[in-house]
């Protein structure tokens, strides 16, 4: 699905609006347009995945956590600033674990090995 | 500043720090503009910019873009980076392009060329970057340009695993965005074997691709079933030792397991007994593991484990074949209903909704009713309460309907606004579906209006009126109840509508009690009048005119109201017109005519509940109910099927006017027949102004009505219609004739009231059109939907006919309690005797049963018998109403005669009642041979060399009825220029000519 620049901004705002109002007693899933968002909160950061309504909620919830653990290892105790200053590397991590909107690789050691190899390149 | 790993771009880090240190938005913009100017000058001026600098600046631009600013340069530099041999430079180039360059950018050709170079190279890191870029953009141009390269990478023997993973998903992306650009090839047959790949990552990626291919062509890839089952089995039973790294919090390969379980949901249960057994073992093992004590207290462990469990349950529900597994699944979900994790309660409610529709687990689900009701009342998250509502709806049946509906009504008072409308629909459907006692149904609906009037859509109150009209045992109760409800000082407008309608029809049933006498009823209704919208006022005016008929003693009071300036000179044209017409009607006509015109509404033909149609429309993916559920779990309600049922019969006073029309055109008292407006010939473009006058009645035509010219009395509608010139009656379109023009000027806003949705259709969708197809033919398909195909074969000899109806069950389930009932509307039974052979109570899956009807024509008839077919499909009652294609012309035998005889007889039949003439607009180009075939199909001869004009058709026949034989002569004069026909029928018996004329004109 392709979105123009303005649509993307609008999407971000809408997602922000539906996700951040929810509290801890709520589910980690929320209907969004014709899809659903599976999200997980880490301190002040929300990580969101938008999936088809029929997709497996818990599998995506854990996919988020799996990638957070990878980020944590990769950045040695990841914090928000790591993600900002190394935003281009975050893309690499995501591309390694998700591609074309699907789960690509789930084994943490394998992803990390690949990322470290890439980091050693110029 | 945090440490930057590896090749730090120091300038980038400094820039990001600067931005973060900005105290205001203005400062940030200033800093950004400074940076943009700097980068622009670097890109423009310095020719010796090296790769590192280009990368750094491109990366800064990307960061600025991500902050939400427009970037209008730097694209070319990013494309240049693609040809660098350094990973970091290439990566930034591809990243910038993926994030910033749209699919339609001019540079795309260059980008695709760079990608092709990288794919052709031998460096797996570069190949991966290129693939990621394609997967992220996925444009058609890319699909076309790379349609050969990517599949080749996927199945080539020397591709390394991680490239294969990326290639599989990139291909998936291209198949999704432009499926027709990817040539099918040899790779397709090899693809399912990726499920056997040693590397679990490859299997994980390939499973997604394969599922996409399977969805399009399950047959071609069905070999994947056994492969998926064996892979799943090896994971679930952990007999594999190399799983170690793919174990996530003690759960072996949860994501791959989920993907495999989803893949299997595209197929029916495996046929091969060995595969089937193996799959059952897997599913049982997964259910067993759910009962084992957790191996870790971490939520990650339980989430991963339950992700697999829920997907296994989805597969169990999908297969719907093993009662043991279904009940175990239900018990497992039952435990989750009270789990402390909200996620699990939510998901359990969701899955249980599906289980409730399986006959094997429906009862098991019902055991949890109390828990679900508690959830409805106590859950904090509205989406969980929504699921509880869905589940209550799905588990509802005759045994618990009263309790569930009661609980839902109670909850409705405090329910969230976001789910009220849907709840109202659900309550209305349940109340109707499971009503044993219709007084309960009436109470429920009135409560709905009282509690949540704003959320009660038109469909809901239309429906209660349809039901009250059709069930005379509840009419008195309904009148009494609405009368009481209207006493409330603040009454929802929907209550006024229902009240007005019901009292207008049945107010007499409670008028015996002086506390609810005629004047009291009228005053009560009228006290609400001024607070209502024009649409409701219009409805009340119709109720008032009905009161004039029911209660002559208050006629003068009502006439005063109609006459008041507030009505007669109302700014709203609709109200003005109703006031004037009703006043005239009540002043001019005799009591007899008035009584006939304002007769009680005839029963509505049974049809699918309009509410259900609305709910389906609103929430196509969640109408968990009997047979519908079967479709919706696969989320495959075709849009067409839904729209068929959308505009459904709102009962209105309009019917009364169409009856008036009928009254006049058939110069005898009309049969109190089921009067259906064809959905076909009354397109909404026809506008309300036409409908109001009863023109689109289908069966009776306006010009004929004018030609006959001697209507009784001087009823108001006749005066209005008297000016008519022959118009084309079956397809009135705005502006097609003088009549319409006249009404256009009368009601200049003809489109406004059309939104009221006037439609009085009663038969199943498409029934009228199918019926019309049979006028000129004897065999064919009368009706077809997802469940049933109904074919008809017939033969006639003089006044006798035999007709066979074939019911073909299209489903894979038995249709139970199969019942066919034929009713003869009005006094049709006096004209047509029908004898019906019994039909069995069941229709097996895929089978066809035949039913014979014998029909004898006693005298001429215009109506057709109505056939109602009822059966149970997956426990849900289905009902189909169709017109049985028995029409008068079937009993004609063609007759041959020469010109002399023809004209002698033609002249002999010269009384106005023996002739009927219509001008008809051709619906398709006039073709001599086709018309001839139609006439022969109509059972009349086609006489050659009779009419001096060879273009004209002259036909003759004898209509055999038990009582007498009727001579039929027919002349059809096409006018090719005007695309019109003039059809003249003469018959030796009164009324026959008109009936035949009406039948024939639908065929031209």
Mean local confidence (pLDDT), B403-428: 91
What pLDDT is stored for residue B773 in this prediction?
84
Q: Which residues of B touch A31 (CB under 8 A)?
A: 383
Q: Which residues of A touch B306 (CB under 8 A)?
A: 58
Confidence of residue B749 (pLDDT cuts 50, 70, 90): very low
pLDDT of B982 above 80: yes
Range from A60-64, B404-408, B869-873 carrying the lowest mean pLDDT: B869-873
What value does the mean pLDDT of chain B take?
Answer: 81
What pLDDT is stored for residue B103 in this prediction?
61
Q: Is A104 in CB contact (< 8 Å) with chain B?
A: yes
Q: Is A65 in CB contact (< 8 Å) with chain B?
A: yes
Q: Which residues of B touch A52 (CB under 8 A)?
A: none
Q: Mutating which of A5, A58, A94, A122 best tests the B interface, going by the most B Cβ atoms within 10 A?
A: A58
**Is A105's CB within 8 Å of B205's CB?**
yes
| B62 neighbors B94 (Cβ within 8 angstroms) | no
pLDDT of B669 above 50: no
More confident position, B905 or B711: B905
Mean local confidence (pLDDT), B784-812: 86
Q: Which residues of B touch A99 (CB under 8 A)?
A: 131-132, 135, 165-166, 169-170, 173, 205
A119 min Cα distance to partner chain B (Å): 6
What pLDDT is stored for residue B335 in this prediction?
95
| B284 neighbors B233 (Cβ within 8 angstroms) | no
What pLDDT is stored for residue B919 in this prediction?
85
pLDDT of B539 above 50: yes
Confidence of residue B241 (pLDDT cuts 50, 70, 90): low
> pLDDT tens for residues B65-86?
999 888 989 999 999 999 999 9
> pLDDT tens for residues B477-511?
999 999 999 999 889 999 999 999 999 999 999 99
The count of other CB atoms within 10 Å of the CB of residue B988 is 18
DSSP B530: T
Most confident among B344-353, B606-615, B731-740, B782-791 (mean pLDDT): B344-353
> pLDDT tens for residues B178-237?
888 888 777 888 899 999 998 999 999 999 999 999 998 899 999 999 999 999 999 998
d(CA B352, CA B776): 52
CA distances B247 to A63, B244, B284, B301, B978, Å, are 13, 5, 20, 10, 79
> pLDDT tens for residues B90-126?
999 999 999 988 666 788 999 999 999 999 998 999 9
What pLDDT is stored for residue B532 in this prediction?
93
Residues 168-197 of B with CB under 8 A from A: 169-170, 172-173, 176
pLDDT of B292 above 60: yes
pLDDT of B159 above 80: yes
Instruction: Please give, one letter per residue, the 3-state secondary structure of B711-728.
Output: CCCCCHHHHHHCCCCCCC
Range from B423-432, B444-453, B666-675, B913-922 carrying the lowest mean pLDDT: B666-675
Contacts of B645 (CB under 8 A, 6+ apart): B607, B608, B610, B612, B613, B616, B765
> pLDDT tens for residues B364-378?
999 999 999 999 999
Confidence of residue B243 (pLDDT cuts 50, 70, 90): low
Q: Is B767 helix (H, G, I), strand (E, B) or coil?
A: helix
More confident position, B273 or B670: B273
What pLDDT is stored for residue B95 in this prediction?
96
Q: Is B942 helix (H, G, I), strand (E, B) or coil?
A: coil
What pLDDT is stored for residue B533 in this prediction?
93
Buried-state track A28-38, b at ≥16 Cβ within 10 A, e below 16: bbbebeeebbb
CA distances B587 to B109, B256, B497, B539, B800, Å, are 81, 80, 26, 20, 48
CA distances B344 to A88, B29, B352, B364, Å, are 36, 46, 12, 19
What pLDDT is stored for residue B785 in this prediction?
84
Q: Is B384 in CB contact (< 8 Å) with chain A?
A: yes
Can you tell me which residue has the tokens 């495996």? B270
The count of other CB atoms within 10 Å of the CB of residue B808 is 16
Query: φ, ψ for residue B924 (rounded to 5)?
Result: -140, 165
d(CA B694, CA B674): 15
Look up the pTM and report it.
0.65
What pLDDT is stored for residue B762 in this prediction?
58
Range from B354-368, B547-561, B674-688, B960-974 carrying the lowest mean pLDDT: B674-688
d(CA B79, CA B679): 60
> pLDDT tens for residues B808-823?
888 878 888 888 888 8
Mean local confidence (pLDDT), B538-559: 94
- Which structure tokens are listed for B750? 């003809």
Q: Is B16 in CB contact (< 8 Å) with chain A?
A: yes
d(CA B678, CA B662): 15
> pLDDT tens for residues B912-941?
888 888 888 888 888 888 888 888 888 898
Sheet holding A29-32: strands in order across?
A: A29-32, A35-42, A45-52
pLDDT of B599 above 70: yes
Mean local confidence (pLDDT), B113-142: 94
How buried is residue B749: exposed, middle or buried, by Cβ count under 10 Å (0-12/13-18/19+)?
A: middle
More confident position, B638 or B375: B375
Long-range CB pairs of B983-986, under 8 A, 24+ apart, other chains included: B983/B917, B983/B918, B983/B919, B983/B920, B984/B915, B984/B916, B984/B917, B985/B915, B985/B916, B985/B917, B986/B906, B986/B909, B986/B914, B986/B915, B986/B916
**Is A57's CB within 8 Å of B304's CB?**
no
Q: Is B56 in CB contact (< 8 Å) with chain A?
A: no
pLDDT of B138 above 50: yes
DSSP B488: S
Percentage of residues in chain B with pLDDT exceeding 70?
Answer: 83
Residue B866 exposure: Cα atoms within 13 Å on the Cβ side: 24
d(CA B276, CA B566): 76
DSSP B193: G
């Amino acid at each position: 699905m392709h979105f123009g620049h303005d649509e993307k901004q609008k999407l971000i705002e809408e997602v922000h609006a539906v996700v951040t109002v929810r509290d801890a007693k709520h589910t980690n899933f929320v209907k969004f347009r014709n899809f659903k968002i599976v999200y997980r909160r880490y301190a002040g950061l929300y990580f969101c995945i938008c999936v088809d309504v029929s997709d497996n909620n818990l599998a995506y919830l854990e996919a988020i956590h799996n990638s957070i653990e990878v980020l944590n290892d990769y950045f040695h105790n990841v914090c928000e600033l790591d993600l900002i200053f190394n935003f281009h590397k975050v893309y690499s991590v995501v591309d390694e674990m998700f591609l074309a909107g699907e789960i690509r690789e789930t084994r943490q050691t394998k992803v990390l090995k690949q990322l470290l190899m890439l980091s050693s390149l110029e | 500043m945090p440490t930057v790993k590896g090749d730090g771009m120091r300038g980038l880090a400094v820039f990001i720090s600067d931005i973060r240190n900005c105290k205001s938005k203005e400062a940030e913009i200033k800093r950004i503009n400074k940076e943009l100017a700097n980068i622009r000058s670097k890109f423009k001026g310095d020719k010796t910019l090296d790769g590192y600098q280009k990368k750094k600046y491109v990366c800064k631009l990307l960061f600025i873009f991500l902050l939400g600013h427009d970037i209008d340069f730097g694209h070319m530099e990013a494309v240049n980076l693609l040809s660098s041999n350094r990973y970091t430079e290439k990566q930034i180039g591809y990243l910038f392009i993926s994030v910033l360059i749209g699919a339609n950018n001019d540079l795309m050709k260059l980008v695709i060329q760079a990608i092709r170079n990288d794919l052709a190279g031998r460096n797996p890191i570069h190949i991966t970057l290129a693939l990621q870029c394609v997967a992220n953009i996925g444009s058609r141009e890319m699909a076309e340009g790379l349609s050969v390269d990517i599949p080749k990478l996927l199945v080539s023997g020397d591709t390394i695993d991680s490239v294969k993973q990326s290639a599989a998903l990139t291909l998936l992306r291209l198949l999704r965005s432009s499926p027709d650009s990817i040539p099918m090839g040899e790779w397709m047959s090899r693809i399912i074997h990726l499920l056997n790949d040693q590397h679990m990552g490859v299997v994980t990626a390939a499973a997604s691709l394969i599922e996409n291919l399977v969805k399009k062509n399950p047959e071609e890839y069905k070999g994947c079933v056994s492969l998926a089952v064996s892979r799943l089995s090896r994971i679930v039973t952990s007999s594999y030792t190399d799983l170690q790294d793919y174990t996530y919090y003690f759960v072996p390969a949860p994501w791959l397991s989920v993907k495999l379980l989803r893949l299997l949901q595209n197929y029916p249960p495996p046929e091969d007994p060995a595969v089937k057994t193996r799959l059952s073992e897997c599913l049982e093992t997964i259910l067993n593991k759910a009962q084992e004590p957790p191996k870790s207290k971490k939520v990650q462990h339980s989430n991963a484990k339950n992700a697999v469990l829920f997907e296994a349950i989805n597969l169990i529900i999908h297969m719907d074949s093993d009662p043991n597994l279904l009940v175990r699944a239900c018990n497992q979900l039952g435990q989750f209903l009270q789990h402390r994790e909200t996620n699990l309660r939510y998901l359990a409610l969701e899955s249980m909704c599906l289980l409730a529709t399986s006959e094997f687990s429906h009862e098991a689900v019902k055991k949890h009713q109390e828990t679900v009701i508690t959830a409805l009342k106590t859950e904090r998250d509205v989406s969980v309460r929504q699921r509880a509502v869905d589940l209550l709806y799905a588990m509802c049946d005759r045994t618990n309907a009263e309790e569930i509906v009661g609980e839902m009504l109670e909850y409705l008072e405090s329910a969230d606004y976001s789910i009220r409308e849907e709840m109202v629909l659900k309550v209305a459907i349940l109340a109707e579906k499971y009503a044993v006692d219709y007084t309960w149904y009436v109470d429920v609906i009135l409560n709905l209006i009282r509690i949540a009037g704003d959320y009660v859509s038109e469909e809901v109150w239309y429906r209660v009126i349809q039901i009250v009209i059709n069930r005379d045992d509840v009419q008195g109760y309904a009148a009494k109840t609405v009368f009481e409800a209207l006493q409330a000082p603040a009454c929802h407008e929907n209550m006024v509508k229902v009240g007005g309608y019901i009292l207008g029809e049945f107010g007499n049933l409670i008028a015996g009690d002086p506390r609810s006498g005629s004047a009291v009823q009228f005053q009560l209704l009228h006290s609400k009048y001024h607070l209502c919208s024009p649409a409701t006022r219009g409805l009340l005016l119709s109720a008032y005119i009905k009161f004039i008929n029911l209660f002559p003693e208050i006629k003068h009071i009502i006439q005063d109201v109609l006459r008041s300036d507030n009505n007669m000179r109302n700014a709203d044209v609709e109200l003005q017109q109703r006031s004037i017409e009703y006043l005239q009607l009540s002043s001019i006509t005799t009591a007899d005519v008035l009584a006939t015109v304002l007769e009680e509404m005839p029963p509505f033909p049974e049809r699918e509940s309009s509410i259900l149609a609305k709910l389906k429309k609103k929430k196509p993916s969640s109408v968990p109910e009997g047979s519908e559920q079967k479709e919706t779990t696969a989320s495959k309600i075709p849009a067409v099927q839904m729209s068929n049922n959308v505009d459904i019969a709102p009962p209105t006073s309009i019917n009364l006017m169409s009856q008036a029309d009928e009254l006049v055109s058939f110069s005898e008292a009309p049969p109190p027949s089921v009067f259906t407006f064809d959905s076909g010939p009354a397109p909404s473009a026809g506008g309300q102004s036409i409908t109001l006058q009863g023109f689109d009645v289908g069966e009776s035509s306006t010009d004929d009505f004018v030609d006959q010219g001697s209507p009784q009395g001087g009823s108001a509608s006749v005066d209005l219609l008297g000016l008519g010139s022959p118009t084309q009656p079956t397809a009135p379109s705005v502006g097609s004739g003088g009549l319409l023009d006249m009404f256009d000027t009368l009601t200049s806003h003809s489109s406004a009231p059309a939104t009221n949705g006037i439609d009085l259709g009663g038969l199943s969708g498409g029934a009228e059109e199918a019926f019309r197809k049979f006028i000129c033919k004897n065999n064919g398909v009368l009706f077809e939907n997802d469940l049933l195909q109904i074919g008809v074969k017939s033969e006639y000899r003089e006044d006798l006919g035999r007709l066979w109806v074939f019911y073909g069950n299209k489903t894979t389930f038995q249709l139970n309690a199969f019942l066919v009932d034929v009713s003869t509307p009005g006094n049709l039974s006096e004209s047509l005797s029908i004898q019906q052979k019994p039909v069995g109570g069941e229709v097996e899956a895929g089978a066809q049963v035949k039913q014979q009807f014998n029909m004898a024509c006693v005298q001429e008839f215009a109506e057709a018998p109505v056939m109602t077919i009822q059966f149970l499909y997956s426990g849900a009652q289905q009902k189909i109403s169709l017109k049985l294609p028995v029409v008068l012309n079937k009993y004609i035998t063609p007759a041959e005669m020469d010109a002399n005889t023809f004209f002698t007889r033609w002249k002999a039949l010269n009384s106005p009642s023996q002739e009927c003439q219509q001008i008809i607009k051709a619906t398709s180009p006039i073709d001599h041979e086709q018309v001839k075939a139609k006439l022969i199909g109509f059972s009349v001869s086609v006489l050659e060399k009779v009419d001096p004009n060879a273009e004209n058709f002259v036909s003759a026949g004898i209509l055999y009825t038990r009582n007498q034989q009727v001579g039929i002569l027919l002349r059809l004069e096409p006018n090719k220029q005007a695309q019109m026909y003039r059809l003249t029928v003469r018959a030796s018996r009164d009324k026959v000519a008109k009936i035949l004329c009406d039948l024939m004109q639908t065929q031209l």
